[in-house]
Amino acid sequence: EVQLVESGGGLVQPGRSLRLSCAASGFTFDDYAMHWVRQAPGKGLEWVSGISWNSGSAGYADSVKGRFTISRDNAKKSLYLQMNSLRAEDTALYFCAKDIGYEARNYFDSWGQGILVTVSS
């Protein structure tokens, strides 16, 4: 059974940094691209970033480009999101999501339970 477990969220002040982690199990992690998708309270889904199976390519939403960095460690079966210069509008539930392909096909067939990030002074 595929399991994705996010961690590292919490309350952070505007302008500060936070690093999210996603621990994967139940599938061959380095066979798939991975993504972060967020959902602000009471709002819809927003794709944040995606990374290919071997970290050879990565993409970002304009709203986070230059501030967030996605990475992965295939040996540790883990996905990361380094979030710098956080803003109030980054407040959301952040989901780790598995792609159906090794290069980003941009279809997310497994999701974590989400981790809440709150940016507030």
Partner 1 sequence: QSVLTQPPSVSAAPGQKVTISCSGSSSNIGNNYVSWYQQLPGTAPKLLIYDNNKRPSGIPDRFSGSKSGTSATLGITGLQTGDEADYYCGTWDSSLSAVIFGGGTKLTVL
Question: Which residues contact partner 1 by CB under 8 A?
Answer: 35, 37, 44-47, 50, 59-62, 95, 100, 105-109, 111-114
Least separation in angstroms between residue 99's CB and partner 1 is 10
Least separation in angstroms between residue 26's CB and partner 1 is 15
Alpha carbon of 45 to those of 15, 37, 40, 48, 54: distances in Å? 23, 7, 8, 9, 26
Which of residues 15 and 28 has its CB atom nearest to partner 1 in the complex? Answer: 28
Which of residues 13 and 62 has its CB atom nearest to partner 1 in the complex? Answer: 62
Alpha carbon of 106 to those of 13, 33, 51, 52, 114: distances in Å? 31, 9, 10, 10, 18
Which of residues 37 and 119 has its CB atom nearest to partner 1 in the complex? Answer: 37
Least separation in angstroms between residue 38's CB and partner 1 is 11
* Both structure tokens of 38: 């967020």
Q: At which residue do the structure tokens 């339970």 appear?
A: 113
